[in-house]
Amino acid sequence: MPPAGIYAKESLESLGVFASVEPKLAQTDNVRSALSLVSRREAKLGVVYATDARAEPKVKVIGTFPESSHSPIIYPVALVASPANPDAEVFLAYLATQAATRIFVGEGFDILSK
């Protein structure tokens, strides 16, 4: 199950509605596939990230999960090679800039402090 599916199931179970909505959900291997099925009306419901839903004008957001209904959704970033690829180092440094922060916040993300 992809991460979005894990968060979705966790939220729906927390809210006590998973069993009743499961048959209507677009269950796919990734968020974009679920979004596509809903946008084409091949599935009645799909659980996607707000940032993805905003990118598809053919879908309507009918609700959002309370933050308390699922584990925090975090996108970590790190250099994993030593020595690191110089381009990766530049990109990681860019992600810490105010310009990158403005872009992420503009797209609906929250920025966590280090």
pLDDT tens for 62-101 read: 999 998 999 888 888 889 888 888 999 999 999 999 999 9
pLDDT over 90 percentage in the chain = 49
Helix (H, G, I), strand (E, B) or coil at 80: coil
Domain count, the chain: 2
Whole-angstrom distance, CA of residue 74 vs CA of residue 65: 16
Considering the domain architecture, whether residues 54 and 97 belong to the same structural domain is answered as: no
* CA-based nearest residue to 108, from 29, 51, 47: 51
Structural domain boundaries, residue 89: 75-114
Considering the domain architecture, whether residues 58 and 83 belong to the same structural domain is answered as: no
Considering the domain architecture, whether residues 9 and 62 belong to the same structural domain is answered as: yes
* The two three-digit tokens of residue 108, written as one number: 């609906």
Q: In the listed set 69, 84, 101, which residue is the last one of a domain according to the structure? A: 69
pTM of the model: 0.69
Mean model confidence pLDDT for the chain: 89
CA angle 112, 107, 63 (to 5 degrees): 95
